[in-house]
Structure 1
Amino acid sequence: MKAKKNIQYLLGGLCLLLVNMSCNKLDEEPYSSIFTDNFYQTASDAEAALTAVYGPMVNIYNTAGTGASDFSADQIYPRPVVGRDTYTLFSYDPNYTTQKSFNRQMESPQQIWQYAYSGIEKANWVLLRVPQTNMDTARRTVILGEAYYMRAFYLWTLTKNFRDIVVKTTPSTSLDTAIIGKTMQADVFKQIYQDLDQAVAKLPSYSANIQKGRPSKEVAMALYAKTALYAEDWTTALNMAKQVLSSGKYSLMPDVLDVYNVAREDAARQENMWAFECESTSPGFSTQIISLYGPKNSDGPQYAATSFGSAFAYQSFYDSFNPADRRRLLLDTFYINKQGQVVHQKDITPITPKGVLVKKYMDPNSVGGSGATNIPILRLADVYLIAAEASARQNGPSTESYDYINAVRNRAGLPGLTAGLGKAQFVDSVLQERSWELFGEGDRWYDLTRTNTFMQVIPKAVNDVFPVRMPQPKNRYFPIPLDEINANPKLEQNPDWK
């Protein structure tokens, strides 16, 4: 029965109580056709099915979507509790043994695997059934565009974490059709390209009319550019990034601090192109990331009503910033407690006198740990840096390359880089700029793994809490969860984890 139950993540779309966005149980005999034949009849059915496609993001971004990667990298470290510090120490195993408790499981790559495939299954049903639904044709086109985009996003999320993955482009109508083998990463990228071609063709350009949390044509192009960066397809990455930048639909916020100001969330959408949208209302979607960052015992009311002091920035990362860099203000070495007193760095955390607080996810009006600060997934600053890197890797540093990176540096209050850097030096500068710009957003680890530099970088990112960190080559990608391999006889573990 355990193996059968695990298949629910491939058969997630079969349990079409779609308004609830998930299924809790899978009987021995799949009953997909009964539901899908009687569903997708009306426009409201199609809308409900599309809403369900977004549902698994709640589980992914509760913690794992940023935590598993950020705790592995060189910017952020967790309080060393069992299950959370395994990413920092690279001590996890294919069974994710220490993550089996409920709280730690939410931070596990296993969560990413399970719920990304749940989202893919739901997207596949939309793409199969909605074309026959009786509804407005223009709206149908957009729904299909969003489904293609979301399938591409879930595939991209999976391949950057696990490399070679199962590519599923049709819904599972039986256990036999659910059980298939892996696809090599190069072909995963091709499938993502195909899906994003459809998304770009069907989605509208950005406007204020697009519902929060839904992608625009330009968002699809941005994901296309980032996928191409990971695929080392510099021509495509540069072309797609240029189309986003030249569209004029998005712009950098004048002050980088406003990107993370919960009170300016709507205005920040001019830069924050696509995000996991959080809410402080109940019922509503949120993430425990908001409560992990912030002082212990909810002592800093400007951070959140409930915070645990569970994640901090390395002192070495804080020290790497130019003091004039406004992005350094998104980190802090003191806070004001509930009594209005200044709490200095040595007292911020009981685990080290050098804890640095992260301020990107502050919501003083949170309801408990549920805040309204969104988690950025694609930002325009990221697109500028993709363009800078792709341009330099393709043609060497050019005026164009410098213009792209300097747009981000200048907004941060820094002088632009001056011409004269060699290709390797310029690319290193872009990667460093990405580290400063995108820290805490679940991005840095993947920059280190896609460039295969993590083995050199991580051993230097240590402190008195984690004085030794020794990743191995196999840690470039997470192991496929053993539960999934046991459930699918055609699924093989990543070679480095066998």
Structure 2
Amino acid sequence: MKNIQYLLFFFLVYTSCNKLEETPYSSIFTDNFYKTASDAEAALTAVYGPMTSLYSTAGTGASDFSADQIYPRPVVGRDTYTLFSYDPNYTTQKSFSRQFESPEQIWQSCYSGIEKANWVLLRVPATNMDTVRRSVILGEAYYLRAFYLWTLTKNFGDIVLKTSPSTNIDTAIVGKSTQADVFKQIYLDLDQAVSKLPSYSANIQKGRPSKEVAMALYAKTALYAQDWPTALNEAKLVLSSGKYSLMANVLDVYNVAKEDAARQENMWAYECESTTPGYSTQMIGLYGPRNSDGPAYAATTYGSAFVYQAFFDSFNPADLRRKLLDTNYINKLGQVVAQKDITPITKHGVLLKKYMDPNSVGNSGAINIPILRLADVYLIAAEAAAQQSGATAEAYGYINTVRTRAGLQGLTTGLGTAAFVDSVLQERSWELFGEGDRWYDLTRTNTYLQVIPGAVNDVYPTRAPQKKHRYFPIPLDEINANPKLEQNPDWK
């Protein structure tokens, strides 16, 4: 694979007034690239590259540690999200290993992906290659740009909206756009993706989006934008396509031995491998028992994150999804380790089992991190239908499909709109826990200030988020590097 680099060098000089200025020194672009089909394929592969740093930890950890389901062991700065003690400099996350868990990594990874996508969208249309394959490459680039933009805006609110590559200072140094404008651009990108991507089939390479995946992201973006008609319409297009289906057993979605079959529901995921070369995630090691004591979890685990007892207790005992949590485990000697001994920091630690891979190699496991699942689409449809028309039979049908699969009775009719939407949000919590979703449900509905103070235990007896914590602060390093970039108002 060819190494793709776009280098923009700046010569920094001081004026007589000692004011630091940036003057273009030289620009080097790969004018000889994008000539062949293999060039285009390599360029698209590069757009996927930042997913590796994004989902090492930050893509799910920074948000999950902020919410009311999962808490980290209070070491190495992870507790700053739980205690809302981080600052715009992300000071405690500045070490190399901790940076991968920081929202700063989300910012950097997503903008790296956007830059690479912008080059593909600029140059690949003129590449001499099969026109059908070229169209698909462009569809994937549009999809990935939309995904990176969506990830940024749900974390930071108003963001820099870049739709062209950095060919000079004017295109490199850009100010923020409103979240509403970001949503509009995501819609435009996903319109392009839907028109160019193929429908799902077994021929689609794993980790690549299908037309229906783009529709699912469209629906979820519309949900965040409170654009209920669009959210419902796009969700219904996915559900009616017949291309995906819920697995009969919800536990199989997270069985690493069944991950190929699980793609019928796990529409798009960060695909991990335990082989080299291959990509994995720190999440596998964070969630298992400490000292790699639970061989059923993974070869190497650290006991670094646990589930709140109150969240475990919120499940109906008949709910199959509760089996994805554990209050004990069997150690390497075959002994049952009771809950009081799971972690040295509390007697109430609950283990999360969604990221188990007993055949992992060192820190590398093959269990995938779900990003868009069909169950999520059903719940998007339920919420959007209710917000648009009340708790209709249609809305009940969507949520009850998910509840029935979990082994529960369906909700009975008669709920008002607000109560029904609350039930959907609760169902999302039970269905999607540990997948980096819950915090954004709380922030997009602006309920985090009410919910989080009650999500405490003996490790974190007090949690006090403020209004400013709805979005993470824009990293100070980025503010200093971009004179047109302003900090989020609540963080000034």
**Alignment match, 2:199:** 205
CA shift, 1:345, in A, is: 0.2
Asked if the contact 1:21–1:55 (Cα under 8 Å) also holds between the matched residues in 2, the reply is no
Given the alignment of the two structures, is residue 367 of structure 1 paired with residue 361 of structure 2, yes or no? yes
Structure 2 residue aligned with 1:116, among 88, 110, 121? 110
Does the 8 A contact of 2:288 with 2:352 survive in 1?
Answer: yes
Counterparts of 1:383 and 1:20, CA distance in 2: 37
State yes or no: 1:128 paired with 2:138: no
The alignment partner of 1:36 has SS state of coil
Q: What TM-score comes out, normalization by structure 1 length?
A: 0.95
Q: What amino acid is the match of 1:160? A: K
How many Å apart are 1:148 and its aligned residue? 0.2
Equivalent positions of 1:34-183 (< 5 A) are: 34-183=28-177
Structure 1: 4+ residue segments shifted above 2 A: 18-23, 25-36
Please say if residues 10 and 25 of structure 2, whose CA atoms lie closer than 8 Å, have aligned partners that are also in contact.
no
Conserved? CA contact 1:76–1:312, under 8 Å: yes
Equivalent in 338, 343, 347 of residue 349 of structure 1: 343
Determine the structure 2 residue equivalent to 1:14: none
Q: Distance in 2 between matches of 1:39 and 1:175?
A: 22
Hey, what does 1:11 align to over in structure 2? none
The aligned residue for residue 394 of structure 2 is 400
Structure 2: which amino acid aligns with 1:451?
T
Match of 2:281 in 1: 287
Deviations 1:253-302 (A, max 9, x none): 00000000000000000000000000001121001011000000000001
CA distance in 2, matches of 1:436, 1:493: 34
CA contact (8 A) 2:63 2:439 kept: yes
Distance 1:31-1:140 versus aligned 2 partners, 3 A rule = farther
Code of the aligned partner of 2:420: F
Partners of 1:22 and 1:55 within 8 A in 2: no
Distance in 1 (CA, whole Å) between partners of 2:4 and 2:415 is: 50
1:462 equivalent in structure 2: 456
Q: Quick check: 2:5–2:30 contact (8 Å CA) kept in 1?
A: no
Structure 2: unaligned runs, 5 residues or longer? 12-23
> Is 1:331 aligned to 2:325, yes or no?
yes
Q: Alignment partner of 2:29: what SS?
A: helix
Letter in 2 for 1:473: K
Task: Deviation per CA, 1:44-69: give whole Å up to 9, x if none.
Answer: 00000000000000000000000000
| Counterpart amino acid of residue 145 in structure 1 | G
- For 1:112, what is the secondary structure of its paired residue? helix
The count of residues paired between Structure 1 and Structure 2 equals 480
Greater shift, 25-34 or 292-301, is seen at 25-34
Query: Hey, what's the Cα distance between the residues in 2 that align with 1:361 and 1:37?
Result: 43
Work out the CA distance in 1 between the residues paired with 2:323 and 2:3: 40
Which residue of 471, 480, 483 corresponds with 1:477?
A: 471
Distance 1:462 1:207, change over 3 A: same
What's the secondary structure of 2:378's corresponding residue?
helix
Residue 378 of structure 1 aligns to a residue in which SS? strand
Check conservation: 1:22, 1:52, Cα contact below 8 A. no
Letter in 2 for 1:401: A
Identical-residue share of aligned pairs (%) = 82
Kindly indicate whether the alpha-carbon contact (under 8 Å) linking 2:9 and 2:26 is maintained by their aligned counterparts in 1: no
Say if 1:420 and 1:31 are closer, same or farther in 2 by CA, change over 3 A: farther
**Partners in 1 of 2:326 and 2:77 — Cα distance?**
26
The CA deviation at 1:421 is: 0.4
Alignment-derived partner of residue 310 in structure 1 = 304
Tell me, in whole angstroms, the C-alpha distance in 1 between the residues paired with 2:475 and 2:234.
Answer: 34
CA 1:331–1:278: 2 relative to 1, 3 Å = same
* Residues 225-268 of structure 1: per-residue CA shift (max 9 Å, x gap): 00000000000000000000000000000000000000000000
Aligned to 1:214: 208
- In 2 relative to 1, CA 42–209 (structure 1 residues): closer, same or farther, beyond 3 Å? same
Q: By how many angstroms is 1:104 displaced?
A: 1.1
Residues 55, 20 of structure 1: CA spacing in aligned structure 2 closer, same or farther, 3 A cutoff?
A: farther
Please give the root-mean-square deviation of Cα atoms over the aligned residues, in Å.
1.3
The answer (yes or no) to whether the contact 2:2–2:39 under 8 Å persists in 1 is no
Hey, what's the Cα distance between the residues in 2 that align with 1:26 and 1:306? 41
CA drift of 1:31 comes to 9.2
Q: Deviations over 1:103-154 (max 9, x none)?
A: 1111000000011000000000000000000000000000000000000000
Question: Are the equivalent residues in 2 in contact too, given 1:189–1:227 (CA < 8 A)?
Answer: yes
Deviation at 1:35, TM superposition (A): 3.5
CA distance in 2, matches of 1:474, 1:230: 18
Aligned-partner residue type, residue 67 of structure 1: G
- Give the TM-score, by structure 2 length: 0.96
Aligned to 2:252: 258
Q: Is the 8 A contact 2:273 2:364 kept in 1?
A: yes
1:10 matched to which residue of 2? none
Task: Give the letter aligned to residue 331 of structure 2.
Answer: N
What SS does the aligned partner of 2:269 have?
strand
Matched, 1:418 2:412: yes
Paired residue type of 1:156: W
Letter in 2 for 1:210: I
Matched residue, 2:424: 430
CA deviation digits over 1:383-405, x for unaligned, max 9? 00000000000000101000000
Which residues of structure 1 form unaligned runs of 5+? 1-17
**Cα distance, 1:82 vs structure 2:** 3.3
Residue identity matched to 1:137: T
Q: Distance in 2 between matches of 1:77 and 1:382?
A: 23
Question: Contact 1:181–1:490 at 8 Å: present in 2 too?
Answer: yes
Decide which of 372, 380, 384 is 1:386's aligned counterpart.
380
User: Per-residue deviation at 1:28?
Assistant: 3.5
Q: Distance in 2 between matches of 1:83 and 1:41?
A: 46
CA deviation after TM superposition for structure 1 residue 174, in Å: 1.8
Q: Which residue of 1 aligns with 2:20?
A: none
Hey, what's the Cα distance between the residues in 1 that align with 2:308 and 2:135?
Answer: 46
Partners of 2:300 and 2:277 in 1: CA distance: 17
Alpha-carbon distance, 1:176 to partner: 3.1
